[in-house]
A and B are shown apart, each in its own frame.
Chain A
Amino acid sequence: MKFILRITALTSFLFLAVSAHAGAISGKAPDFTLKSSSGKNLRLSDFRGQVVMINFWASWCGPCRQEMPILDQLYKRYGKLGFTLLGVNVEQDSSKANAYLKDVPVSFPILYDTSNGTSKLYDVNAMPTTILVDRNGNKRFIHHGYKPGYEKDYKKQIKQLIRE
């Protein structure tokens, strides 16, 4: 009986906890320039006028790998409507990321933040972290982590920002 009481007490504490994996944010998206998978350097401010999704990911991160094909679908679907996606790989050694991308190719540009400067700039505090930037270069939405179903939020927010 005491055992059940203890469990109940702990569980009720748990349900009091507020879970907030996504939210609206504001402020200018800090600019950055990183080397991309095509070999060219890409700069965030060059995409001004488009809705940009920045996804910080790593090959060792399970949820990131799970999300990759879904992000590719989003890019293919909304790419022609003024939307772009930048996949920022946070690994210091990009060889594992490239091996992964060989097996699971994506069509959106991959950027290599090997020095973690951009990750620091965006205060990435979860893997993956996904940020949506509007046509004027402002940060609008942030997502920490990934679980199946987050793509519904992504779609809604992309559509909203494209319409603005």
Chain B
Amino acid sequence: MRIFRYCIAVLSLLILQGVSQAAVLPDERVDALYHSYDGGDVQVTGPSVLVRKGISTNWSTSFNYYTDYITSASIDVIIGGSPYEEERTEQTLGFDYLRGKTTMNLSYTKSIENDYDADTISFGISQDFFGDLSTITMGYAEGSNLVGQRVSNNPKVFEDRASIDRKNYRVGFSQVITKNATLGFGWETITDEAASLNNSGVTLNNPYRSYSFGIPGTSRSFAQEKYPKTRTSNAASLRANYFLPFKAAIHAEYRWFQDSWGIRSDNYGLSYVHPIGDWILDFRYRYYSQTKADFYRDMFDFADQFDFMARDKELSTYTSTSLGFSASYEFAKNGWGFIDKGSLNFSYDIITFDYKDWRNACESQCAGGTASPGLEPFYSFDAEVIQAFISIWY
């Protein structure tokens, strides 16, 4: 955590320097969003409401209520059990404090599912300096998660399987380059440490998931996955924002990622924002690619071949490509009653997931499947993501 310590030192000195002018707190606004994800026989829909209100000239508070209603009949679920429906609710309460050129925030998030509870507390600090051309940010978060599993046919009976402690260390630096350009750099290290409960053997894995073993062309069997107890990941991102002479903007992003499980990934993003009259149009492209985890295989040779064995498609070698579009209509631009302004927004993204070493086992294991076990075609699917939301500034 050397980089983290450097930043604490630099930041403390910058703050001690004294301040002569002010940054600003986020706008007071309320957003009500409906979201929908549909892909790979998984549907996730629900609302998200975000309210932000100033308490005084130095304090601002925000509250987010977010729900996912999940219906899943994905390949893993069909092979490993039966389709299910569940609900996840996440609530976040946050406080922002502004003093001179320093902004601090503290937030608490609680996420609840039938079989997964997560509590996260997060602290962040941001400091402007050098004529407000530079900003340094730092953040630390601690999360504690409790993983459960359905243990009988009664959908309401669960048993604890594992507890996971997560720590996030974030640093960031952003710089105004010209009147029209900014650059940003971010780094985040995340560590996970799991402990099995009730001798379940479950650590960081999903208790419902299986690895596969057998002889290609002959047979495919399944057994409960075995994951390491810890995971450490590092991510570095670089962002550039550019304001074009004809009043439009371009955003470019690159992220490098690596973890202790042998996964390496890169993603690139490019978006173009174009205002016309009362409308703002957004077009975006994103490309993501990753290599597999060391302990991932579509099919192992035999049961218990290694200490750690997994067959999650998230741990395989794959790419995802997204194309997205948003339209935002602004109304009451110069105020109406207690409203300062408002906007109506619609957004659509299509994501294509292309797996390089994860086979569609359903083609041999599900009813009507005709492929040979272990020789099924590689899987790919498209997902559609829709968002519709209204925002009111007051």
- Residue on A nearest B56 in the bound complex, by CB: A148
B19 touches A100 (CB 8 A): no
A residues within 8 A CB of B335? 103
Cα distance A6–B1 in the bound complex, in angstroms: 14
Q: Which B residues between 29 and 49 are near A, CB-CB below 8 angstroms?
A: none
The answer for the CA separation of A126 and B27 in the assembled complex, in Å, is 19
Measured between beta carbons, the chain B residues less than 8 angstroms from A7 are 106, 123
- Binding stretch for chain A, among B96-104, B250-258, B288-296, B304-312: B96-104
Q: Which residues of A contact B20 (CB under 8 A)?
A: 20-21, 125-126, 144
Known: A3-B123, A19-B99. A126 touches B24 (CB 8 A): no
Whole-angstrom distance from the CB of A105 to the nearest CB of chain B? 12
CB of B19 within 8 A of CB of A18, answer yes
Contact A126 B21 (CB under 8 A): yes
With both beta carbons as reference points, the residue of chain B lying nearest to A18 in the complex is identified as B18
Interface flag for A39 (CB, 8 Å):
no
Which residues in B have their C-beta under 8 angstroms from that of A144? 20-22
Nearest chain B residue, comparing its CB with the CB of A103 = B334
Segment 1-52 of A: residues with Cβ below 8 Å from B: 3, 6-7, 10-11, 13-14, 16-21
Since A21-B20, A103-B335 are in contact, a sample of 13 more A-B pairs with Cβ atoms closer than 8 Å, ordered by chain A residue number, is A10-B8, A10-B11, A14-B15, A14-B104, A16-B16, A17-B15, A17-B19, A17-B102, A21-B21, A63-B22, A63-B24, A104-B334, A147-B22
- Tell me the complex Cα distance, A94–B100, Å: 29
Minimum distance in angstroms from A98 CB to a CB of chain B: 13
Q: Which residue of A is nearest B54, CB measured?
A: A148
> Is the CB–CB distance between A148 and B57 below 8 Å?
yes
Which of B8, B11, B24, B104 is within 8 Å of A62, CB to CB? B24
Residue of B nearest to A147 (CB): B57
Beyond A14-B15, A100-B334, whether A125 also contacts B21 by CB under 8 A is: yes
Q: With A3-B142, A13-B15 given, is the CB distance from A126 to B22 under 8 Å?
A: yes
Cα distance, A148 to B21, chains bound together (Å): 15
- State in angstroms the CA–CA spacing of A100 and B341 once bound together: 13
Given contacts A7-B123, A14-B102, A103-B335, contact A20 B15 (CB under 8 A): no
Interface residues on A, range: 20 to 34
Query: B125 within 8 Å of A by Cβ?
Result: yes
Find out whether the CB atom of A14 lies under 8 angstroms from the CB atom of B334: no
A-B contact pairs, 23 of them (CB 8 A): A3-B142, A10-B12, A10-B125, A13-B12, A14-B99, A14-B104, A16-B15, A17-B15, A17-B16, A17-B99, A19-B19, A20-B20, A62-B27, A63-B22, A63-B24, A125-B20, A125-B21, A125-B131, A126-B20, A126-B22, A144-B21, A147-B22, A149-B57
In the complex, A145 has a CB within 8 A of chain B: yes
Q: Whole-angstrom distance between the alpha carbons of A100 and B11 in the complex?
A: 38
The reply on B66 being an interface residue by CB < 8 A is: no
| Contact of A145 (CB < 8 Å), options: B22, B123, B131 | B22
Closest CB of chain A to B338's CB: distance in Å?
15
Q: Which of chain B's residues have a CB closer than 8 A to the CB of A100?
A: 334
Q: Closest residue to A92 on the B side, CB-wise?
A: B179
Residues of A within 8 A of B11 (CB): 10
